């Protein structure tokens, strides 16, 4: 099982950012209002995620480290839809197999908590611990026991950028949750929940300068609902890093969507400039296959043209309506 977990880790735990993504997703799934991420050495030294979610009983905590012990697959059909995040009960055992892993959790109003320690996928040590609100997971010395993978890590600053980006993607999709990221004790990304103004979250992610330029987009056609924000064409970037697309609140990358976005902006942008676009595409989960990529960054739409058309129409209409 240690080997199987390590193989799973090879597929899904590519770098510190993958750990951050999986753990923060779990915290969001647990109904947390605030998620804190503390990193050391770009996440290679330590990743600590603490949340104020529903926590786990001792039994659930123990199960969470067993493969495929997910609590989130309610129906087989879930396997084919976007209605659950994560990759179905593999994340924690996979992460614990390639790090020194500690989990401390308690259920709401419980008098006792649980601490579990795992060293490189060995036998979990389960202990009673003080009660707490929510869960804290600490992942130290990532890949210390998989030197081949460890060798592929880039500079700490690069790994850190990827880890921060993983949080930003989740933060954009969950404006009702507060996120705090720090590195070496220094605040890196601070974004209190802003349920009434999603633009605050975009400004936290992309810089405060974008805020006054953000324009809402909205389009519904043929079961595809497109919402979100674009920056007016007077605010552009030299690269495509301001383009975020989400399908059913999950960050994805898709060539077809990108070209639909580019086409809509074509006549508005100077050469070499890229727009800021944060788009949420909500649709029937059965009309999109998410299982084409181990990290689920890519999807396959049953009607790719229809989705592209909806995105293009949403942006084109916003661009035509505004006075620039």
Phi, psi for 187 (deg, rounded to 5) = -60, 135
Pick from 39, 44, 51, 219 the residue near ligand ADP by CB under 6 A. 51
Q: What does the alpha-carbon distance between residue 278 and residue 202 come to, in Å, rounded to a whole number?
A: 8
Nearest residue to Mg ion on Cβ basis:
86
CB 28 within 8 A of CB 52: no
Bridge partner list, 219: 226
Pick from 36, 37, 52, 64 the residue near ligand ADP by CB under 6 A. 64
91 binds Mg ion (CB under 5 A): yes
Our separate counts of H helices and E strands in the chain read 9, 15
Q: What does the alpha-carbon distance between residue 239 and residue 206 come to, in Å, rounded to a whole number?
A: 12
* Order of strands, sheet of 277-282, starting from the edge strand that comes earlier in the sequence: 214-221, 224-231, 277-282, 243-247, 250-252
Pick from 16, 42, 55, 86 the residue near Mg ion by CB under 5 A. 86
Partner from ligand ADP, Mg ion, none binding residue 233, C-beta < 5-8 Å depending on class:
none
Residues in region 22-81 near Mg ion by CB under 5 A: 26
Torsion-angle region of residue 185: left (phi > 0), alpha (psi -120 to 50) or beta?
Answer: left
CB 256 within 8 A of CB 245: no
Q: Identify the CA nearest to 146 among candidates 294, 44, 21.
A: 44
Angle at 100 between CA 97 and CA 101, to 5 degrees: 80
Q: Rounded to the nearest whole angstrom, what is the least distance from the CB of residue 233 to ligand ADP in the complex?
A: 40
Return the residue matching tokens 């229809």. Answer: 306
**Span interacting with ligand ADP, options 38-46, 81-89, 150-158, 310-318, rule CB under 6 A:** 81-89
Residues in region 176-195 near ligand ADP by CB under 6 A: none
Q: Rounded to the nearest whole angstrom, what is the least distance from the CB of residue 117 to ligand ADP in the complex?
A: 16
Give the residue with the Cβ less far from ligand ADP, 49 or 224: 49
Q: Rounded to the nearest whole angstrom, what is the least distance from the CB of residue 221 to ligand ADP in the complex?
A: 32
Pick from 43, 89, 120, 175 the residue near ligand ADP by CB under 6 A. 89
Q: Rounded to the nearest whole angstrom, what is the least distance from the CB of residue 44 to ligand ADP in the complex?
A: 21
Site of interaction with Mg ion (CB under 5 A): 26, 86, 91
Site of interaction with ligand ADP (CB under 6 A): 22, 26-27, 30, 51, 53-56, 60, 64, 70-72, 86-92, 135
């Amino acid at each position: 099982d240690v080997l199987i977990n390590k193989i799973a880790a090879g597929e899904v735990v590519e770098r510190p950012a993958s750990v951050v993504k999986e753990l923060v997703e779990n915290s969001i799934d647990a109904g947390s209002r605030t998620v804190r991420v503390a990193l050391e050495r770009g996440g290679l030294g330590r990743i600590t995620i603490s949340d104020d979610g529903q926590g786990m009983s001792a039994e659930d905590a123990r199960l969470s480290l067993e493969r495929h012990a997910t609590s989130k697959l309610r129906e087989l059909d879930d396997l084919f839809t976007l209605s659950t995040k994560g990759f179905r009960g593999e994340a924690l055992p996979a992460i614990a197999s390639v790090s020194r892993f500690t989990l401390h959790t308690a259920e709401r109003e419980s008098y006792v908590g649980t601490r579990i320690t795992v060293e490189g996928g060995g036998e979990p040590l389960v202990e009673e611990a003080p009660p707490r609100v929510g869960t804290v997971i600490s992942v130290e010395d990532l890949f210390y026991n998989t030197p081949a993978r460890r060798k592929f890590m880039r500079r700490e600053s690069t790994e850190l950028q990827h880890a921060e980006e993983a949080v930003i993607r989740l933060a954009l999709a969950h404006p009702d949750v507060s996120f705090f990221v720090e590195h070496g004790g220094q605040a890196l990304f601070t974004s209190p929940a802003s349920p009434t103004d999603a633009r605050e979250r975009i400004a936290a992610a992309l810089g405060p300068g974008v805020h006054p330029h953000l324009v809402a987009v909205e389009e519904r056609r043929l079961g595809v609902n497109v919402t979100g924000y674009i920056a007016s064409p007077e605010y552009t970037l030299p690269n495509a890093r301001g383009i975020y697309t989400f399908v059913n609140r999950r960050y994805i990358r898709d060539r077809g969507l990108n070209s639909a976005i580019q086409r809509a902006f074509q006549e508005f942008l100077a050469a070499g400039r890229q727009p800021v676009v944060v788009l949420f595409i909500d649709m029937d989960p059965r009309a999109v296959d998410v299982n084409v990529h181990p990290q689920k960054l890519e999807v396959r739409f049953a009607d790719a043209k229809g989705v592209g058309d909806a995105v293009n129409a949403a942006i084109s209409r916003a661009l035509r309506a505004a006075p620039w």
